[in-house]
A = this chain, B = another copy of it.
Amino acid sequence: MVTSYVDRQGKRLDEYPRPSVAVDIAVLTVDAGCLSVVVVSSRHGEGLPGTFIHPGETLAVAASRALVEKTGILGLDFHQLAVLDEPKRDPRGWVLSVAHSAIARRDDLPEDVQLRPVRNGAPARSLVFDHDAIVDLAVADLEDRYEEELDPGHLLDAEFTLLELRRLYETIYGFEIEKDTFRRRVIGSLVETGRTTTSGGGRPAQLFGRRRDAKMSAHARLQHLAAKGR
């Protein structure tokens, strides 16, 4: 490392005390129809998987490493949410945490992973440090991204029915959606496969695939919330 640079006060870079920098990851999934988050247990209590960043790593690499080491989860994409910077947020010392989120299909997670529901109606979480707040950020981010794009986390298979898609969005948004309105909203982002499935019980449902670059039309959830005066 080059250390000969000095700043305006004449201090060398390596004279500054430095914080430890951690990554914490909220891995969200839909388990049994419920939006859930992966947690790990430690001596401090239940929290999100995380680790300290190592030299030469990017934050995404550190996040991958944390998930493998602590949960056995592999190969997710990470989104930065925020930097948690309260000097006293971690009793071990001065630790900044870069909060991340990721989305995973339940069956891409190990069988024995610990999951906690995250929706408001669900039993209260109480994770260590400020990890509850990270989960809230992750959920808000998930909602935003599902509003922009059609199932960007690929929680559904390559082919799915409109009912399956709608149930997924209801799980993520946390409220029911009218089937006719929903159909018209997403149909432009789908391609018919010609195949049908009768697993639902009534008339066979058509199976759809995603269009490339499958945006959601307009901003329905915002309008919905506005209409209800929330």
Chain A residues within 8 Å of B, Cβ to Cβ: 1-3, 5, 7-8, 13-14, 16-21, 52-60, 69, 80, 82-83, 85-87, 91-96, 98, 218-219, 222-223
B2, B56, B86: the one contacting A91 at CB < 8 Å is B2
* A contact patch SS: loop
Q: Give complex CA distance A8, B41 in Å.
A: 12
A83, B56: Cβ atoms under 8 Å?
Answer: no
The copy count of this chain in the complex is 2
Of A16, A80, A219, which is in contact with the most chain B CB atoms at under 10 Å from its CB? Answer: A16
Nearest-Cβ distance from residue A11 to partner chain B, whole angstroms: 9
Determine the distance from Cα of A80 to Cα of B14 in the docked complex, in whole angstroms. 25
| A1/B93 in contact, CB under 8 A | yes
Given the known interface contacts A93-B14, A219-B222, the answer about A58 and B86 at a Cβ–Cβ threshold of 8 Å is yes
